[in-house]
Amino acid sequence: MTEDLELMRRLFRDHPTCRVATVRPHGGPHIASRWFVWMPDALYVTTRIGDTTWEALEHGGRISLLIDRGRGWNDLSGVRIEGVAELLPAEHPDLRQPMSAWHEKYRTLFAGDGFERFTAAIPKLGFLRVVPAVVDAWDHG
């Protein structure tokens, strides 16, 4: 990983969500907010298997991710990542470390009955493994 990419990873890995942009099979755009972990090898984004994001990626795999922060013009900064998503079911053996990091990142949201509510809403969890091919960053500050 280049130094610039590692810096972007450190700056934005703890942000709670990213926006995922895909192209639907009929050519229309689709964008959705998703949870993610940014590991040294790739970004791992969670989505429900069979949802619009998953289905769009089954037909091409091209994806753009946006992680940004700030409210006022001078506070805005972000990173945009392009790549090809590899679709992995949660049971995939390559997901041990990313899944552990994902659980750690979102563990407070699973407190109490949070995990039960999550699994009821998302019965088939999938991960999108995205190795960054293009990374653009900006900072208006």
Residue 36, pLDDT score: 97
pLDDT at position 106: 95
The pLDDT assigned to 70 comes to 84
Q: What is the pLDDT of residue 140?
A: 82
pLDDT at 114: 87
> Where are the strands (E) in 6-76, listed by range?
18-23, 29-34, 36-38, 43-48, 62-69
* Nearest Cα residue to 128 out of 48, 23, 67: 48
- Tokens matching residue 133: 């091919």
Q: Which residue numbers in the chain have pLDDT < 50?
A: none
Query: Residue 46 and residue 120: Cα distance in Å, rounded?
Result: 15
